[in-house]
A and B are shown apart, each in its own frame.
Chain A
Amino acid sequence: MKEVMEEAVLLFLLLVIYTPDAQGTRYSPPGKPELTRCRSPEKETFTCWWKPGSDGGLPTTHALYYRKENSDTIYECSDYHTAGENSCFFNKNDTSIWVNYNITVVASNALGSTFSDPVDIDVVYIVKPNPPEKVTVTVMELKEWPFLRVSWEPPHKADTRSGWITLIYELRVKLEGDDEWEMHLAGQQKLFNIFSLRSGGTYHVQVRCKPDHGFWSEWSSTSHIEIPDYLHREKSMWILIAVFSAFIFLILTWSLHMSSHSLKHCILPPVPGPKIKGFDKQLLKNGKSEDLLRVLVVSDFPPTTPSNYEDMLVEYLEVYVPQEQEVLLEESKDLHDSCLKFEGSTSDNDSGRVSCDSHTLLMDKCGEAKEEGRQTDQEDSTTEAEAQGQQKDWDQDTLMYANGDILSPEKSSGRVKTWPSVFSPLPQYTLSLPDQTSSLEMAKQHCYSDSLFCPGSTSSYLTHLGNNDNETLGPGSWEICLSNRQPYSHIPQMQTCQQVRSHSDVNISTIARKQEPAGLPLPFFRPTAYVEVQRFDEEDMVVLQSIVSDHGFHEGFPQMLQQEDYSKVKGVDSNNMLLLQTEAMKEDGDGCRCQDQVTNGVTESSCTLSISTTPHKPTAHIHTVVSTQDEMAQPASGYVDTATIFTLPTY
């Protein structure tokens, strides 16, 4: 019994437990439905749709209840079928505009019912019209260009005629095969023209509408339209484009041509040509650089061949040595280039000085210039003068002077050209010569102090000069001092500082005459005289100048140095070397300052000076006088007659 009871209980329990599993479903009240949307097509009726929840396994029914605003009456939907399943259609009688509806859907089954959430709607704001109807698309032509004309009608349900609904329209167009549509808003009109067409192809057109405050309708059914080809029109367009571009091209070309010059200047600025004297562009264009450089080299600088001394002369001084006058050669630093400014006919632009014409020797001009030059130069560094001297006075010539007694005014009737511009500056000299007379003195002093000292006689000479300056030293007389230290050919031991006076005219200053009746002062002048051979003019005159020795000189009269003076022409070497010998004939060089300067091949033998004829580098040219040498070999007196030398060519 108990066992049967237990089995029955067990069976019952099992039945109770497993019976539902066997059936597979559970009964439950329906799930909560949900109102999805409510729409009104014409603002006169509307429909609401809901989505039912789970039905709970039991047949579930749904009901829609609504309540109007300001009314507590609950109405139930009267039409569940017109709009389909799970919908409720509100007809015109049930629809009130501008009234708030509170709608609720209830799902119910055997086990219960479930209410959905209420929804408030106002019909005015849920209007979604039907798409436009009777959409017609036609192809029309405007001046041989096609366009589409689309026309339509509002949906028949929407009453726009009475003004109850106001619809606005929109259409879209696309070519067959395209992915994107071209949208056009048409407003309230029912006609629209589309001009953005490409010829050839099929077009799709669609239209839709919307009320003032509502939803857009669906797109209308597609209308297809085919547009014929208008290719020839496009061709004409291309032709027009080509012509227009050609025209523009012509205009551009013409404007470029007109402004080519300025454009050339803008794009390719003219290259400045070389402005070198003697530069030949043709040579450059020919591409022969050697010729070009040769031209450059040959042209002016440096002068390799002293072919034309006249041209190469920057300035020169023509010295006229009177017959009785002794040519005293002095060194004067002051007789600088600028000093020797004569009434030169030709003047080099660069020199700033006037090259001296041999004919005219104007003291005044030169004096003034000399003063100025002196005053300016003396403050200047010596290097400048030296540089000037070196640069410009490469053609300078020194005056060769012989002993004092050699100077014979008669012989010096010829013209002696001297180039005292070569005078190398003496650092020690700072002569300032305010006036002409004193300048002369200073010059003399300078000259003297440089190489030779002019003792008493000299001083007397000077004083004489000074005294007689105004009288004798007329315009045109000049004192030339040999510059010192020309590294060309140092003719050592110029015995005397000879002062060469030049006259513009034939007249020779009497001072000289007075001074040197017999060349007496000259022997006293035994200074160290280093004569440098400088260049000569075309008349092949050797100009020697004394060179200052390196030891310091003081202003004033240099001490008397027992030096040799090379005033005696020994002879002419076979090598066309003019050999000078001292009077003293000292073989060896006690005090024989034979400076061996091989610059131009001038070597000195024992107290002999040889002047070679080899031309040398720019600064000075030693132009040996071949002819003169021969002639110079002749003098038997043993003195070098400067006048002879200088005037030899004139014979």
Chain B
Amino acid sequence: MVSDSSLNHRLTLLFLVLVCLVFCRNLTSIGAAPICTNAQTGCQALSLANLFDRVIQHSARMHGISNDLHSEFEQYFLPSKNQIGRVSRNCHTSTILTPNGKENAQRMAREELTEVILKLLMAWRDPLWRFHQGMAHNHDFNNFSSNKALEMSDMVHELRKGVEKVADKMQMLGIISNSVSSQVSPEALLPSDSAEWHLMRDYDLLYCFRRDSNKVQNYLKILKCRIVPEHGC
């Protein structure tokens, strides 16, 4: 008698556990709300507009940090204004063709624009990481600047992933063709002479990155207002 009741208890418990496992998996997957590229897999699908908003906010924050760091450098490490070589500052991303005007940017296809964005973000991953390393070891910079550099480096990484997701989403939605590959070959992105950016001074590096982060933000906005113009355009 007692054994029967206990057996019943155990069976019900087991049944409940199994049911829980079956459903909980779905629940957890839904609750976590990962941004997935495929809507069929059952994960929570964010709208494209929402995705765009997120990446735009991310890029805005990244640009803000780079601006702050650049201002700090400009204060303490202000290069001589009379330096002739200033104009020929070469950012290592100058090889990447980027539209320099509104018409040029609007004339550019969405895929190209997306690819430009991805290229830029890819190009800055390693230099920023090394920059942060250099700042961490260099005692000239306080912890605040070092933390900012680290944050900047991380943000570039995160933003790139976000844009890749956006691109996947757009490809999924048929907005853009599949010509944009999420995985851009790193060799195409890195400057021809990888040693160049070693020579760049920190100040020039920050100057270049500040500009490039602004480009990314602007391109993303253009894309958003071109693709999903209903919110804030």
Q: Are A100 and B102 in contact (CB under 8 A)?
A: no
Report the separation of the CA atoms of residues A97 and B101 in the bound assembly, to the nearest whole angstrom.
6
Task: Point out the residues of chain B lying under 8 angstroms from A124, CB to CB.
Answer: 211, 214
Report the separation of the CA atoms of residues A188 and B218 in the bound assembly, to the nearest whole angstrom.
16
Nearest opposing residue in chain A for B88, CB measure: A70
Task: Point out the residues of chain A lying under 8 angstroms from B225, CB to CB.
Answer: 161-163
Residue B100, interface by CB 8 Å? yes
Task: Point out the residues of chain A lying under 8 angstroms from B92, CB to CB.
Answer: none
Report the separation of the CA atoms of residues A87 and B223 in the bound assembly, to the nearest whole angstrom.
35
Task: Point out the residues of chain A lying under 8 angstroms from B232, CB to CB.
Answer: 188
Knowing A188-B232, A212-B60 are in contact, say whether A162-B106 is a contact too (CB < 8 A): yes
Residue A164, interface by CB 8 Å? yes
Q: Are A98 and B98 in contact (CB under 8 A)?
A: yes
Report the separation of the CA atoms of residues A188 and B221 in the bound assembly, to the nearest whole angstrom.
14
Q: Are B102 and A70 in contact (CB under 8 A)?
A: no
Task: From the candidates B89, B90, B233, name the one contacting A161 in the complex (CB within 8 A).
Answer: B233
Report the separation of the CA atoms of residues A98 and B215 in the bound assembly, to the nearest whole angstrom.
8
B228 shortest CB reach to chain A, Å: 10
Question: Of B94, B102, B224, B232, which is in contact with the most chain A CB atoms at under 10 Å from its CB?
Answer: B102
Knowing A69-B89, A122-B211, A163-B226 are in contact, say whether A99-B106 is a contact too (CB < 8 A): no
Residue B86, interface by CB 8 Å? yes
Task: From the candidates A44, A160, A213, name the one contacting B67 in the complex (CB within 8 A).
Answer: A213
Task: Point out the residues of chain B lying under 8 angstroms from A188, CB to CB.
Answer: 232
A473 shortest CB reach to chain B, Å: 99
Q: Are A98 and B214 in contact (CB under 8 A)?
A: yes
Task: From the candidates A69, A92, A122, A166, name the one contacting B88 in the complex (CB within 8 A).
Answer: A69
**CB interface residues, B 190-233, toward A, < 8 Å:** 211, 214-215, 217-218, 221-226, 229, 232-233
Report the separation of the CA atoms of residues A95 and B215 in the bound assembly, to the nearest whole angstrom.
16
Nearest opposing residue in chain A for B217, CB measure: A212
Q: Are B89 and A100 in contact (CB under 8 A)?
A: yes
Q: Are B233 and A96 in contact (CB under 8 A)?
A: no
Residue A599, interface by CB 8 Å? no
Q: Are B87 and A67 in contact (CB under 8 A)?
A: yes
Report the separation of the CA atoms of residues A99 and B225 in the bound assembly, to the nearest whole angstrom.
24
Sorting the interface of chain A by its residue count into under 10, 10 to 19, 20 to 34 or 35 or more gives: 20 to 34
B115 shortest CB reach to chain A, Å: 18
Q: Count residues on chain B whose CB falls below 8 Å from chain A CBs.
A: 31
Report the separation of the CA atoms of residues A290 and B94 in the bound assembly, to the nearest whole angstrom.
117
Report the separation of the CA atoms of residues A188 and B217 in the bound assembly, to the nearest whole angstrom.
16
**Total A-B contacts with CB atoms under 8 angstroms apart:** 67
Residue A364, interface by CB 8 Å? no
B217 shortest CB reach to chain A, Å: 8
B61 shortest CB reach to chain A, Å: 12
Report the separation of the CA atoms of residues A95 and B226 in the bound assembly, to the nearest whole angstrom.
23
Task: From the candidates A44, A99, A163, name the one contacting B221 in the complex (CB within 8 A).
Answer: A163
A215 shortest CB reach to chain B, Å: 15
Q: Are B88 and A164 in contact (CB under 8 A)?
A: no
Question: Of A69, A102, A122, which is in contact with the most chain B CB atoms at under 10 Å from its CB?
Answer: A69
Q: Are B102 and A43 in contact (CB under 8 A)?
A: yes
A79 shortest CB reach to chain B, Å: 18
Residue A120, interface by CB 8 Å? yes
Q: Are A92 and B222 in contact (CB under 8 A)?
A: no
B208 shortest CB reach to chain A, Å: 10
A253 shortest CB reach to chain B, Å: 58
Q: Are A97 and B224 in contact (CB under 8 A)?
A: no
Knowing A95-B101, A99-B100 are in contact, say whether A164-B87 is a contact too (CB < 8 A): no
Report the separation of the CA atoms of residues A161 and B90 in the bound assembly, to the nearest whole angstrom.
33
**CB interface residues, A 161-176, toward B, < 8 Å:** 161-164, 166
B178 shortest CB reach to chain A, Å: 25
Task: Point out the residues of chain A lying under 8 angstroms from B215, CB to CB.
Answer: 98
**CB interface residues, B 91-123, toward A, < 8 Å:** 94, 98, 100-103, 105-106
Residue A159, interface by CB 8 Å? yes
Q: Are A162 and B67 in contact (CB under 8 A)?
A: no
Report the separation of the CA atoms of residues A43 and B100 in the bound assembly, to the nearest whole angstrom.
11
Given contacts A95-B101, A162-B233, 18 further A-B contacts (CB under 8 A): A44-B101, A69-B87, A69-B89, A70-B87, A92-B103, A96-B100, A100-B87, A162-B106, A163-B221, A163-B226, A164-B218, A164-B222, A188-B232, A212-B60, A212-B217, A213-B63, A213-B67, A213-B214
Which 9 A-B residue pairs are closest in the complex by CB-CB distance?
A163-B225, A163-B221, A96-B100, A164-B102, A163-B222, A102-B87, A97-B100, A163-B233, A162-B225
Can you list 22 A-B pairs, Cβ within 8 angstroms, ordered by A?
A: A44-B102, A67-B87, A69-B88, A69-B89, A70-B87, A70-B90, A97-B100, A97-B102, A98-B100, A100-B89, A117-B81, A120-B86, A161-B225, A163-B218, A163-B222, A163-B223, A163-B224, A163-B225, A163-B226, A163-B233, A164-B102, A213-B214
